[in-house]
Structure 1
Amino acid sequence: MFQLFGSLKPYLKPSSCTIDNNVFRLHYRATVLILVGCSLMVTARQYFGDPIDCISKDDIPSNLLDTYCWIHTTFSIENAWKKRVGDEVPYPGVDKTTPNEKRVYHAYYQWVCFVLFFQAILFYVPRYLWKATEGGRMKNLILGLNNPILDETSKNTNRALLVEYLYKNLNHHNTLFIMYSVMEVLNLLNVILQMIIMDRFLGGEFTNYGWDVINFTEWDWSVRYDPMIKVFPRLTKCTFHRYGSSGDVQKHDAMCILPINIINEKIYIFLWFWFYFMAIVSVIAVIYRAITIVVPRVRFLATHSRCRVANRDALSHVISQASIGDWFLLDLLSKNLDSLNFKDLVKDFYSRLEGKGADSL
C-alpha cells in the first residue's frame, strides 16, 4: 500500500508561500489527492483481486468469458431487486430471463479509474488558472520577511522595498482580486458540475446515494436490501452468444462476480459525503467573498485576526485608503510574513500614506 500511494507523497508537503485560503486548498490539494488515490486503488488488482469473475456451466473458457463480460458489460433484472434472496432469486437483481424483463446494464466499472482521474484534473484547473494569473508575485514580495530570524539591516531594507512597491502600485491590484474571486466561484460551480456528472455516470443514483445508505439501517427487515448493492452490484448476469456445431446461434447465460464493486461502493459513499461537504464550504467561501466586497469593515477584521500585534488604527487607516485589490494583497502578506515583520510593515506603510496625504494638502 505504501508503494501504491507513495507517488502522492510530494503533494502532501506544505507550500512555502500561501496565495489562497483553506477552502481553495481543499479543492486543489485534498480533493485532488483523494480522487487520484481512489483511481489508483481501483486499478490495484494485487490488493483487491480480479475486477470480474464469471461462472458458467457451459464449455466456454473462463478467461474468455471474463474478458467478454468485462468489455460488453453485465446487467441486472430490475424487478428482481426486492425479491427474497434464497427463495425467489439467488441474489438481488439476478433472476431468470423473461420476455418483458427490464434490464439495467452496468458499464461504469470499466471507466471508474478514468473518470476519477478526470475529476481530479477538473479540480486542479482553478488552481492552475490562479497560479498563472498570480505569476509568483507573492513569493517575490516576501523578500525573506517570513523568517522571524533576520538581521536588522536586511529586515529594514527589504521592508522598505516592500512598502515602496505597495505605495507605487496603489489601486493597481483589483484585477488580481477579481481573478481570485472568479476562481472561488469556479470552484463552487466545479463541485456542482461534478456531482451532476457522477449522478449521470451512475445512472441517476448518486444524488440520493448517501441518504439511502444512511436510512438503510432504519428500513423494515422484510423489505431491507443494501442500497449500495443496487448501485454497485456484486453479482450480475451476462449473456454470451456463439455459433454451435451446426451453425446455429447458441445463447449462454453466466453469472459474474464483481469484486471491484466492493471498493467502488466504499469510494463513492465517501465521495458523496465529501462532495456535499465541499459544496457547503464552497458556498460559504463565496458568501464570505461577497461580504468582503460589500462590507469594508470585514476586510479589516479578517486581516487583523491574522496579526493581532499590528496597530489597529494604522491597519484600519491603511485598509480604508487602499482599494479592495490592495487589501487582498495585504491580506495575503499577513498570511506569509512573520507577525512582527507584518506589524512593522503596516506601521511603515501607514507613515508612507500619511506623507502622501501631507504633500497633497
Structure 2
Amino acid sequence: MWDLVKGVATAFKARRVNTDSTIFKLHYQATFCTILVFTVILAANQYVGKPIRCLHQLSGQPDEVLDTFCWIHSTYTVTSAFLKKVGVEVPFPGVSGTRGSADDIKVYRFYQWVSFCLVFQAILFYAPRWLWKSWEGGKLQALKMDLDVGIMTEVDRKQKEEMMLTYLQNNRQYHNFWAFKYFFCEFLALVNVIGQIFLMDHFLDGEFFTYGIDVINFMQSDQEDRVDPMIYIFPRMTKCTFYKYGVSGEVERHDSICILPLNIVNEKIYIVLWFWFIILAILTLLLIIYRLCMVTSYRLRAYLFKINYGLIRRSDIEKITRHYSVGDWYLLYMIGVNIDARIFNEVFHELAEKIIDDREEKRHII
C-alpha cells in the first residue's frame, strides 16, 4: 500500500517546465491522485478487512461460506421498507421480513466493482495529459535552455537568447497546430469530466445525477420525513437469499441479513466526487470559453500580456499580438511562464524590433 501511495505522490512533484494551465492540472494531478487514493483506501478495506458480514442460522456452515456467497452474488433491499418506521415496522431501512414483488426489490452489485471503476476513471483523467505530453514533444523544455535561473554569464545568456530569437523568427506561423492540439486536450478534459458524470450515474443505476442535491436536502429536512439517499444508494444493511439442500434432499431457502461496512466509505467517496466533478466541469467549461475568446480576440491576447508581464512595453505587446498568429503568441506566452522575467522582457523587445526590421526590408525590396 505504501508503494502505491508513493507512486501517487510522484504526480504532485513540481515540474521545471510548465506546459499547461492550472485547471488542466486539476484533471491529471488533483483528480487523478485523489481517485487513486480513494482506490487504495477501498482496496485496503475490501481485501484486507471484512467488506461484508452476514447473520444466519445455518447449522454446520461456517460464516465465511455465506459471506462469500452474498458478496459474489449480490444483496438486495426492499424499496418500500425504506419508508417504514425503524424499530417498529422494520429493523433497518430497506430490510423487510417479506421479499416483496420484483419491482419492489433493489439489487446491489456495484460494490464489487467500485475499485476497478475508480482505477478506470483515474486513467481517463490522465489520458488528455498523456496525449498533450506526447504532442508537445519537449518544445518548451528545449526553448527554456535554463533561462529560468537568471544567473549566468553575459556571453552564455546572450547566446541562448539569440538561439531563442532565431528559432522564433524562423518558425513564425508554424505553431498554430501545436497550440490547437493543446486546446483540443483541454476540450477532451471537459468531455471526459462530463462523460464521467454520466458513467457514474449509469454505474449507480441512475442515482448519481441528483446524489449531492438529495444529500443536501436530506440534511436540511426532518430525518423522519425523507429517505437518506446515502443509505438508499449505499445501504449499510441488506438481505441475501441462500439456497441449500436440506436433510431430506429438498432445496431449502435461507434469508440472511448482511452488514456492508464498506458502504460507509463508498458513500463518503461518491459525495466528494459528486461535488468535485460538478465544480471541475464548470471550471473547465469556463476555461474553454476563455480559450475561444482568446483565439478570436487579439485585444484579449494583448491584455493577457499586459497583466501577466508588467515589464514589457505596451508598444511591443501591440506589435507582437498584431503580427503573430495565435499559435506563435501562445508559445511566446508559455515561454514567459517558464523563463526569468528580465530575460523574457529582452527577448520580447528584440522580437518586436525584428518585426519593424522585416517590414523595412520588404519596403526596400519593393
> Which TM-score bucket, shorter chain as reference?
over 0.9
Q: Could you tell me how far 1:165 is from its partner in structure 2?
A: 0.3
Instruction: Give deviations 1:89-132, integer Å, cap 9, x for gaps.
Output: 11111101245252111111101111001001001111111111
Q: Which residue of 2 aligns with 1:57?
A: 57
Distance 1:186 1:350, change over 3 A: same
**SS of equivalent residue, structure 1 residue 81:** helix
Corresponding position: 1:84 with 2:85? yes
Cα gap change, 1:144/1:222 in structure 2, threshold over 3 Å: closer, same or farther? closer
1:30, 1:48 → 2: CA distance? 27
Match of 1:34?
34
Between 1:1-10 and 1:271-280, the stretch displaced more is 1-10
Secondary structure of residue in 1 paired with 2:247: coil
* Residues 1:313 and 2:315 aligned together: yes
Aligned to 2:343: 341
After the TM superposition, which residues 1-361 of structure 1 pair with which residues of structure 2 at under 5 Å, given as runs?
5-45=5-45, 49-59=49-59, 60-100=61-101, 102-361=104-363
Distance 2:344 2:146 in 1: 12
Q: Cα offset for 1:4?
A: 6.2
CA distance in 2: counterparts of 1:268 and 1:39, whole angstroms:
12
Please give the secondary structure, in 1, of the residue aligned with 2:31. Answer: helix
Instruction: After TM superposition, give the deviation of residue 154 of structure 1 in Å.
Output: 1.0
> How far apart, in 2, do the equivalents of 1:319 and 1:162 lie?
18
Give the letter aligned to residue 95 of structure 1. Answer: S
Structure 1 residues 132 and 260 mapped into 2: Cα distance closer, same or farther (>3 Å)? same
In 2: Cα distance, 1:106 partner to 1:99 partner: 16
The letter of the residue matching 2:17 is C
Runs of 5+ consecutive residues of structure 1 not aligned to the other structure? none
1:110 and 1:333 map into 2 onto residues whose CA distance is 47
Please give the per-residue CA displacement for 1:182-213, whole angstroms capped at 9, x wherever unaligned.
11111111111000000010111111110011
Q: Residue type matched to 2:76 in 1?
A: F
RMSD: 1.6
TM-score, normalising length: structure 1 = 0.96
Q: Assess if the C-alpha contact under 8 Å between 1:306 and 1:334 holds in 2.
A: no
Q: Distance in 2 between matches of 1:31 and 1:328?
A: 26
Which stretch shifts more, 224-233 or 253-262? 224-233
1:206-257 CA-partner distances (Å, limit 9, x unpaired): 1111001111122234323421111100000000111112211111111111
2:83 counterpart SS class: coil
Q: Which consecutive residues of structure 2, in runs of 5 or more, have no partner in the other structure? A: none
Decide whether aligned partners of structure 1 residues 352 and 270 sit closer, same or farther in structure 2, where only a CA change above 3 A counts. same
Structure 2: how far apart are the matches of 1:99 and 1:309?
74
Paired with 2:35 and 2:99, the residues of 1 have a C-alpha distance of 40
Moved more, 42-51 or 334-343: 42-51
Q: Which moved more, 1:331-340 or 1:272-281?
A: 331-340
Residue identity (%): 40
- In structure 2, the CA distance between the partners of 1:2 and 1:66, relative to structure 1 (3 Å rule), is same
Tell me which amino acid in the other structure corresponds to 1:89.
V
2:218 and 2:108 map into 1 onto residues whose CA distance is 22
Partner-residue secondary structure (3-state), 1:149? coil
Task: Return the offset for 1:303.
Answer: 2.6
Report if the CA contact (8 A) 1:48-1:259 is conserved.
Answer: no
Cα deviation code 1:280-311 (max 9, x no counterpart): 00100000000011111111112332211112
SS at match of 2:198: helix
Structure 1 runs (4+) deviating above 4 angstroms are 1-4
Q: Is the 8 A contact 1:76 1:94 kept in 2?
A: yes
Q: Which amino acid aligns with 1:55?
A: L
Q: Is the 8 A contact 2:99 2:105 kept in 1?
A: no
1:152 and 1:99 map into 2 onto residues whose CA distance is 84
